């Protein structure tokens, strides 16, 4: 599977579910040159890589002390569930937190933003009204709030994952 230009985020399936779904556990990016996966330390760094991925693809050497000669940090396989992000999604505006949750049935992910005041915002409209009501956040560019969700990689789902609706239709992937 070649998804090379894309940053991505695997989730371990060993961890018991948070009541409403699964959260991202590990961030990783794939080297453009050798296609090895490198674990990225935290969300901020990961978002930085993802936001610049198109004009500045990730390479092993961007991680301190690493080169393409070093074995991969992590392998793309079904020991964990992987979701693949779209490259170019902007960095989360300062003070806000972007959260991704994998639905319990593995059908898809949901994105929301948490405001500096702890409020959950689930759509662009909610963001717009929040900024309007709280002018101190006016300098957070609206275009930097992005609700694009990563693609859930079906070939990495646990064998017991139920995809699709109860009537048996399967969720289409693009």
> Does 74 contact Zn ion by CB under 5 A?
no
> Does 89 contact Zn ion by CB under 5 A?
no
- Select from 24, 28, 31, 84 the one that contacts Zn ion (CB under 5 A): 31
> CB neighbours (10 Å) of residue 165?
11
Q: How many residues does the chain have?
A: 174
- Cβ 11 vs Cβ 103: under 8 Å: no
Q: Smallest distance, Å, CB 38 to Zn ion?
A: 8
Q: Which residue has the tokens 């909610």?
A: 126
d(CA 41, CA 119): 26
22 vs 50 by CB, closer to Zn ion: 50
> Does 49 contact Zn ion by CB under 5 A?
no
- Select from 23, 34, 72, 101 the one that contacts Zn ion (CB under 5 A): 34
22 vs 63 by CB, closer to Zn ion: 63
Position of minimal CB gap to Zn ion: 31
> Does 60 contact Zn ion by CB under 5 A?
yes
Q: Which residue has the tokens 């371990």?
A: 12
Beta bridge partners, 25, equal none
Q: Smallest distance, Å, CB 173 to Zn ion?
A: 27
45 vs 132 by CB, closer to Zn ion: 45
> Of 1-9, 26-34, 97-105, 129-137, which segment contacts Zn ion by CB under 5 A?
26-34
Beta bridge partners, 38, equal 29
Q: Which residue has the tokens 């079906």?
A: 154
> Does 29 contact Zn ion by CB under 5 A?
no
Q: By CB under 5 A, how many residues form the interface with Zn ion?
A: 5
d(CA 174, CA 170): 13
> Does 72 contact Zn ion by CB under 5 A?
no
Q: Which residues contact 120 (CB under 8 A, 6 or more apart)?
A: 112, 113, 114
Q: By the criterion CB under 5 A, which residues form the site for Zn ion?
A: 31, 33-34, 60, 68
């Amino acid at each position: 599977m070649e998804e090379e230009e894309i940053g991505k985020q695997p989730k371990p399936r060993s961890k018991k579910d948070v009541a409403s779904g699964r959260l991202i556990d590990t961030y990783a990016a794939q080297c453009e040159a050798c296609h090895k996966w490198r674990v990225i330390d935290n969300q901020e760094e990961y978002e930085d890589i993802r936001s610049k991925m198109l004009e500045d693809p990730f390479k092993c050497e961007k991680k301190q002390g690493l080169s393409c000669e070093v074995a991969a940090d992590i392998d793309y396989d079904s020991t964990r569930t992987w979701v693949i992000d779209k490259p170019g999604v902007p960095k989360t505006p300062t003070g806000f937190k972007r959260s991704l949750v994998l639905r319990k049935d593995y059908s898809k992910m949901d994105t929301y933003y948490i405001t500096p005041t702890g409020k959950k915002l689930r759509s662009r409209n909610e963001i717009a009204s929040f900024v309007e009501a709280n002018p101190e956040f006016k300098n957070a560019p609206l275009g930097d709030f992005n609700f694009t969700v990563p693609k859930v990689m079906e070939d990495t789902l646990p064998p017991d994952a139920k995809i699709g609706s109860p009537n048996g239709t399967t969720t289409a992937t693009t």
